[in-house]
Structure 1
Amino acid sequence: MTKEEQEYARVIHSSGNDLLHLINDILDLSKVEAGKLDIHVGEMNVSELPDILRSQFAKVAEQQNLTFSIVRDSQVPDIFYTDEQRLSQIIKNLLSNAFKFTHEGSVQVNLSMCSEEQIREFLPLAKHRQVLVLSVKDTGIGISPEKQQLIFEPFRQADGTTNRKYGGTGLGLSISRELARLLGGRVIMQSKEGVGSTFTLYVPSMEHVFNETESIQKEAAAASSPMISDFLLRDAYKKAADPAERNNFSGRKVLVVDDDVRNVFALSNAFEKEGILVSVAHNGQECLEIMKKDQDIDLILMDIMMPVMDGYEAMRMIRKDTRFEKVPIIALTAKAMKQDRDICLQAGASDYISKPLNLSQLLSLMRVWLTK
């Protein structure tokens, strides 16, 4: 290619990457706000973190003629229990911002452990737990006091506006704050205009969550199928040890309407352990056909987003038939908007529960409607 063509290709590639990052940021923020972003706690090797950060940002520092240093306190353990992917995402966001707004001087990362006094001040709910402190300090433009809270809002820039003077989307800090909350921590900022900024992340150890997850995974490994989710297995086994709970559902007929075979398999397996007689439909049309043949259905679990006929239409059709006016219908949906519950109830649902499902909550809800 000619130099001109190479430049066009470079611009297209750069624009594509920018768009991809924007889409990923928006998706992450949407998932967090909807409560749909999963946290996977594991062992994070903190001893490797300095080398990883150097490999990612040393070249950036060199190009901008900035000093980049990482200091790890001797009290910081080699292994820390958290979601490594999400913690790394926060650190990268903070460092990217630091380099973006620093034109001369330095960017420094400090790793230490939180004192008891700091825990009481910044994370009182994390008492009796280890808390990792990670700070990113720069000698950049700094932020005036009146604008320091604004920059945590989506699409805001360092000047407190939506103008893209320094590039980027303005989503990094907003996402970092929400991710920190998901990890049980928080992000605090100290800044002085024209001097620089320090962003400090406090994140507690989630070793107890890791240990509980390990226990659940061992239960899942003992099951016959890897398709059943961990929470379904755990709750299903607990209930199946309990004859009193089992008798509440024994012999009851439940129709599961869902086009996702994984959900159908998991629910069917768990329900059968409860003594429930399970029928399955993969869309609203199949649901109506099954109900014409079997009018003794005690309860329906209705997914919303399905091909052929969705859950809304299926529920409306069911309620038009006087034979099924009082059959309990629990709507299952991954949608998380506030108005979804009202829409489901207007369409004919008796109740509503959002995905991902918690089997214990679902069974409790089913028990309520089956005893009415």
Structure 2
Amino acid sequence: MAPDQQEHMSAQQLADTLPVGVCIVNHEDARAFVNKRFKDFTGAHEPTGWGCLSRTIHPDDHGRVENVYHTALSTRTAFRTEYRTSDEKEEWRALSLEPLSEGHLRQFGLRDNGGMISMVTDISTEKVAEMKQKMIAEDARERKQQQERFIDMISHEVRNPLSAILHCAEDIMEAVQDQRKKGKEQLADIAEAAETINLCVAHQKKIIDDVLIFSKLDASMLTLRPQPVQPKMHLSTLLTMFRPELRKSRIEFEYKLDESYADCGLDWVMGDLDRMGQVLINIVSNAIKFTAEAQKERKIRVSMGACRRRPPSYPPNVVFFEPSEHALRLDSTRQPEWGEGEVAFIMVAVRDTGIGISDQHQKRLFERFKQATPKTDRIYGGFGLGLNISRRLCHMHGGEIGVSSKEGVGSTFGFFFTVRRCVEAEEWTQLSPQSPIDELCVQIGELDSKTPDVGRDTSGADFAHEPPVEHVNEVAIVSQSDERKEHTEKLIDEIENEPSEATAEPKETHSNADAHAPAQCPPEIMAKSKMAGRQRVLFVEDNIINQRIVSRRLKLAGFDVSEASNGREALEIWQREAFDCILMDQEMPVMDGNTATKEIRNLEREQGGHILIIGVTANVRQDQQAEMLEAGMDEIVHKPYKMKDLCDKIHEMIKEPDQKPSIGE
């Protein structure tokens, strides 16, 4: 054997031991040398290097790799790329192409025309580790964003009542110190401020309770405790706690069973009705709150039905959120402690004649739950966190929750949950003590029934343990859809057809305001305001309590105040009237403060002028403040704030110190 053949064989044997596939090609891509690993990777049946590689590359990566391969070959430049294989495993390969040195060209007989060395490496293990690392990093980023959103929501919800509490405390101190007031008037002011403080403290307590429950759910520390129970009696007892509130707000109340409940023959079942009671309490509390704001009919109906199959679209008058795979895995009703009784599904619906939910809020609500995102919002009066909790409790109990609503007509919230029949429960429950919740509800009901109150109507609240059985449209298996359901379904269809997420804040345009209204008010109105010597302030705040308190105190401080409940209202009022300053809340329905500020600045650029805009917000993160300033706000005040500090800030920004009125004048 010739020496050069021996050298070639030893080189071949050495190359075959390499874990990297090697292929030497000339300037026309014809193969001059391949090792065993390259044959294993490609088969190496084709006469060209690219021909061997081409048949093993995944179709999605084929065009990209082909372009860079031939470019490198024609320009004699090095390159490296990664691709997936076309087999079922879809393994990952790294491909590199480098020009050969003159010595290597002579060694492989390629001479002066040039050649390249192609190397293929299996990087599947590294790529899997890299993708796992990316997933971990993405999950960490998502969790951080979720945590920030959660903290933002808690901060916003807690700071709002804190502002009201602070301003009411200032009212009480001033009323006590003001000797000019008569006794009765002074006591009335103090009583009103104290009642507002009480409402705000109750609101904060609910937030804290919700946060504790949410944290337990998030840490998987909250479990269900099934026990034999009679659903119709349990809910009846639970609802008695609302009797005083219903009387106070003069709301007619009904509790009924649908015929489907009787048809299923349900009496005793295994379930955690205390947890499902939490869901009901959450929904009824909001229904009372917003039905009390209704101008005409005030009515709430709680109804219960049942069926033997999991409700895909039942009841017909509630649109359910779509459960994710994770939500279905939370179902704990298949565990041994639930028994082996026949499975049934109980449906509860709460229908009210309140103010309803706006179209935009419904879209955002369904879009967020469709994406399984934990971000909450002040939808249906701060229902965001409570609805998250209620939904997760329903998932744990093998159920789901949904809503149908139309603004100005009312809302229907409904949820269903899984139970198992429990035939022998009656004997067991005779020996078991009454639950603390049941005892408390009974005591509240007894105390309220013994409390004389001739000023309240007691005929409109029925909490019978044996509620009437009849056809109830909200929970009946067969019934006609109502206008709320049809309206909500149309909104869901719009979400599916929208190019962008419905969770985005509504982008208002000039057409949403009065296109013919001037950007500045007529000169005679401005002159009249100046002659009065009072600075005009537009106070934009969606929280009614804060709006009422702050507006009154601004007026006491000598300002001429107008109110708006959202950014759209503020924009329309600003276009009709002249103001020295706008106090702009950030988080509002319909149009938020940032969007409204941008609209105002856009109109000012077209028509001239500059109105002072001070952002008032409960959001405290730097990026949130940067967004407000970027939108065009001149200054930011954080809740809670003292009225003196706010008034001083307004005067400082307007720069009219000679006209400063003092608080209380």
In which range does the TM-score fall when normalised by the shorter chain? 0.3 to 0.5
* TM-score of the superposed pair, with normalisation by structure 1: 0.46
* TM-score of the superposed pair, with normalisation by structure 2: 0.27
Q: Which has the larger radius of gyration?
A: 2
